[in-house]
Structure 1
Amino acid sequence: MIKKTKTMKLKIKYLLIIFPLLTVLSCQHVLDEVERDKQEENYTSPYMGKWSGSYSGDQSGTLILNVNKSGTIEGTKISQGHQETFYSGLIGSSISSTTSSSGFTLYGNLESKSGTWKMGNLNGSWSVTKN
């Protein structure tokens, strides 16, 4: 009986030590998430704004990129009176994987304000300036 009591006291002691540690670790995780959310909320892309220019090569036309605060892009390509909208994002200054319904894809970055494009077998280059 005494041995069972000692064992039970020891288990309770361990629980009293482990439970607060788990609680602190859990709270720290929540605080880290809140801090990360605040940083994302306060982030403003240095490329935010409207960029316009052209693309040329196997096809040519006008290119408009609207970069929002978080760095996501709403792009518009206009060629021979046909307008197409596409969406993308920035990783640093690099445009990450822009694909439209036609398969028009941009590669490049806004630091150099230029890059290449591809649409099926067609390809060429593009350049923009910030308005």
Structure 2
Amino acid sequence: MKKIIYLPVLLLLFLNTSCSEDDEAEEIRPSLTGSWSGTYSGDDRGNWTVNVSSTGNVSGTATSSFTQDSADITGKVSDTGNLSATIGITDDHEFFGQLGENNEASGTWIDTQRDQNGTWTGTKD
């Protein structure tokens, strides 16, 4: 009977330690962090700027040269420099590409809502 009681206790202890979250987020290479900016072109054109945190979080702004409208850029950069972000509040505006060790960046943007797309380039500030 004691074995039956100990089994659930041991199981709970195991699950509690094996499923615990890591309190510290992994940091990306310092060469990728900081401020980046550039231009985008294609069916729309304008300027963009983002800041990359030490944990790879991306936040910034894209501003259209045609309409002067601005939209927030939010997303993530991996330790290898892969950028995956959205523009605005919906997922139908994508901004993705590569931030390089050479302080140059490039990629593609897609606005599926308006059936628009293009490319972007930039550098680390």
Q: Deviations over 1:42-88 (max 9, x none)?
A: 42122332211111122221111222233222131022343221322
CA distance in 2, matches of 1:23, 1:128: 56
Listed as ranges, the gaps of 5+ residues in structure 2 are: none
User: What is the CA-CA distance between 1:121 and the residue it aligns to?
Assistant: 2.5
User: What is the CA-CA distance between 1:30 and the residue it aligns to?
Assistant: 1.9
Partner of 2:53: 68
CA distance in 2, matches of 1:22, 1:48: 46
The structure that is helix-richer by fraction is 1
Coordinate RMSD, CA, aligned:
2.5
Task: Verify: 1:108 aligned to 2:105, yes or no.
Answer: no
Rg larger in 1 or in 2?
1
The structure that is strand-richer by fraction is 2
State the percentage of identical aligned residues: 29
> Residues 52 and 121 of structure 1: is their aligned pair in 2 closer, same or farther, counting only changes over 3 Å?
same
CA distance in 2, matches of 1:60, 1:91: 26
> In structure 2, what residue type is equivalent to 1:128?
G
Kept after mapping to 1: 8 A contact 2:62/2:72? yes
Task: Please give the secondary structure, in 2, of the residue aligned with 1:124.
Answer: strand
User: What is the CA-CA distance between 1:37 and the residue it aligns to?
Assistant: 1.6
TM-score normalised to structure 2 length: 0.70
Task: Please give the secondary structure, in 1, of the residue aligned with 2:19.
Answer: helix
Partner of 2:11: 25
Pick one of 105, 120, 123 that aligns with 1:126.
120
Task: Verify: 1:43 aligned to 2:26, yes or no.
Answer: yes
CA distance in 2, matches of 1:70, 1:58: 32
Task: Verify: 1:95 aligned to 2:83, yes or no.
Answer: yes
- The answer to which structure, 1 or 2, has the higher relative contact order (CA under 8 A, 6+ apart) is 2
CA distance in 2, matches of 1:19, 1:90: 47
CA distance in 2, matches of 1:18, 1:27: 15
Listed as ranges, the gaps of 5+ residues in structure 1 are: 1-11
Aligned pairs, number: 114
CA distance in 1, matches of 2:85, 2:22: 24
Q: Which runs of 4+ in 1 moved over 6 A?
A: none
